[in-house]
Amino acid sequence: SPGDFRFSDVPKPEGYLHTYRDLGRPEHVNMLEQLLDGIHRHLRGLFDGDFLQTAEISAGFHYPVRTQYSTMHLQVRVNNGSVCRDDGRGVLIGDLISQLKEDRETFRADKRVLNYKVTENVKVSLLAAANQYKVEHASVNPERIIHQTSELTYHLGTGEKHQQKSDDEEASTESQDKENKEEEAVKPS
């Protein structure tokens, strides 16, 4: 029944879109553009042109989604704030189209660190998934899968741990890089 918050036990086919981070094939940009056109057509059918000219319309996706709703779904808000709030989880459909046009592999490459705030049940779901991965991939250093950076703050993933440098460390690194370049410039060939 709707709202029972159970995990989906429906098998998903190959290529299933769980979240917007599963996008990356050439047809996905076309699909998103058609979806955006469809949103505008649908809203024109609901509201008159004068209203739409002044309305604040926000359409996009969230990541991570709750695992029990592991299907990519679009949110459209009309005069009800942005899909992208201060939690860092939202992406507007227009921005998503631009990102994929610029680099279709942007999400598959997984080079960007994503920082976002999540509710406790999403955090529990993410930690459970990371722990399951840790069990299934015992050869991977556990610190690379789950690293607690502070109370209630975690870094999840199998990539390198991303640590922010302090301003002093950043200045020291920049200074060392500059010195290295100057030394290379004065070396005789």
| Partners of residue 75 on adjacent β-strands | 60
Q: What is the pLDDT of residues 49-62, one digit of tens each?
A: 899 999 999 999 98
- Alpha-helical (H) ranges within 137-166 are 142-145
> Could you give the C-alpha distances from 27 to 31, 39, 77, 90, in angstroms and in order?
6, 18, 26, 22
User: How crowded is residue 155: how many other Cβ atoms within 10 Å of its Cβ?
Assistant: 17
Taking phi over 0 as left and psi of -120 to 50 as alpha, with beta for the rest, 59 belongs to beta
Weakly modelled stretches of the chain, pLDDT under 70: 1-8, 64-70, 110, 112, 114, 116, 118, 152, 157-189
CA angle 46–48–49, rounded 5-degree value: 125
Tens of pLDDT, residues 112-133: 676 767 677 777 777 787 788 7
The strands making up 75-78's β-sheet, listed across from edge to edge, are 75-78, 57-62, 90-92
pLDDT at 170: 43
